[in-house]
């Protein structure tokens, strides 16, 4: 079903297609450990039975309806304390593609993609370190494409947003091309551009919102550190939050 991608230079020049698997990230990780896998290898399935999201959350995906895949990249040029750059560039690649179809998609920190108050995509990045250096990044992407019903009330698919079904191979081709464009931008050293674009596409940036931490509070997102920490101006004081320490309240 899925063939070598033609629009990319790196991504998808080797495709590993599995009709069904527990987790494409796990398959990709095993390939990296046990074989000489080329950068850009794409592992994709039509039925992911044990998909995971950020911080161990599960990822719901109806078979044959969505895109669930993992990319193997080798960002050895990134320092370990700047690993969040991979999250930013991948998130931007997805948002770039989606906003080219229809405006209104944003990144919900750190790496979920939302349309309004509903989630359309998620990312799980697992970085493999060797002798103190970043060796490989396994980038798992789940994009809701043609699924119509979800057990999670805040989930939505592209077909629901656009009012039509889409070709999964065609979406994959364009999406990977967009992710690769941002990756090459990062690789060329344009990290400032990546961060600025990430902030401009970040849900709630420079707008007062309600958050849930230890208590509910109002605050304004003003920055994101290279570590991935979110900087929120709260009661005229800048506070840094790590993943899962606060949640958006819609």
Q: Where are the domains of the chain?
A: 15-200, 208-248
Give the CATH number of domain 208-248. Answer: 2.30.30.100
Average pLDDT, the chain: 93
208-248 matches 15-200 in CATH topology:
no
pLDDT, residue 55, reads 46
User: Which helix H or strand E contains 218, and what residues bound it?
Assistant: strand 216-224
Query: pLDDT for 18-30, tens place per residue?
Result: 999 999 999 999 9
pLDDT, residue 49, reads 84
Q: Find, among 14, 149, 128, the residue nearest to 69 by Cα.
A: 14
Query: pLDDT for 182-195, tens place per residue?
Result: 999 999 999 999 99
What is the residue whose two structure tokens read 């039975």?
49
- Whether 33 and 130 have beta carbons less than 8 Å apart is answered as no
Cα torsion 152, 153, 156, 160: sign: positive
Query: pLDDT for 128-174, tens place per residue?
Result: 998 888 999 999 999 999 999 998 889 999 999 999 999 999 999 99
Query: pLDDT for 77-125, tens place per residue?
Result: 999 999 999 999 999 999 999 999 999 999 999 999 999 999 999 999 9
Q: Terminal CA-to-CA distance of the chain, rounded, Å? A: 39
- Whether 116 and 94 have beta carbons less than 8 Å apart is answered as no
Question: By three-state DSSP, how is residue 175 classified?
Answer: helix
Whether 202 has a pLDDT exceeding 90, the answer reads yes
> What CATH superfamily is the domain 15-200?
Bira Bifunctional Protein; Domain 2 (3.30.930.10)
Burial class (CB within 10 angstroms; exposed 0-12, middle 13-18, buried 19+) of 79: exposed
pLDDT, residue 99, reads 98
């Amino acid at each position: 079903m899925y063939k070598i991608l033609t629009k990319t230079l790196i991504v998808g020049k080797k495709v590993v297609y599995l009709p069904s698997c527990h987790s494409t990230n796990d398959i990709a990780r095993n390939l990296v450990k046990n074989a000489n896998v080329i950068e850009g290898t794409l592992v994709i399935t039509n039925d992911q039975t044990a998909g995971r999201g950020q911080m161990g959350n599960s990822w719901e995906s109806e078979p044959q309806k969505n895109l669930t895949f993992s990319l193997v990249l080798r960002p050895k040029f990134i320092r370990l304390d700047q690993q969040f750059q991979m999250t930013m560039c991948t998130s931007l690649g997805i948002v770039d593609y989606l906003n080219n179809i229809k405006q209104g998609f944003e990144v919900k920190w750190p790496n979920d993609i939302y349309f309004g108050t509903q989630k359309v995509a998620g990312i799980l990045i697992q970085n493999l370190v060797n002798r103190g250096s970043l060796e490989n990044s396994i980038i798992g992407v789940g994009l809701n494409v043609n699924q119509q019903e979800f057990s999670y009330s805040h989930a939505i698919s592209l077909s629901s947003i656009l009012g039509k079904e889409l070709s999964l191979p065609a979406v994959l081709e364009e999406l990977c091309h967009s992710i690769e464009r941002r990756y090459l931008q990062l690789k060329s050293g344009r990290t400032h551009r990546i961060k600025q674009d990430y902030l401009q596409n970040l849900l709630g940036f420079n707008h007062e919102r309600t958050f849930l931490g230890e208590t509910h509070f109002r605050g304004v997102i003003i920055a994101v550190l290279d570590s991935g920490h979110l900087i929120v101006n709260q009661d005229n004081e800048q506070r840094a939050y790590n993943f899962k320490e606060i949640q958006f309240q819609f």
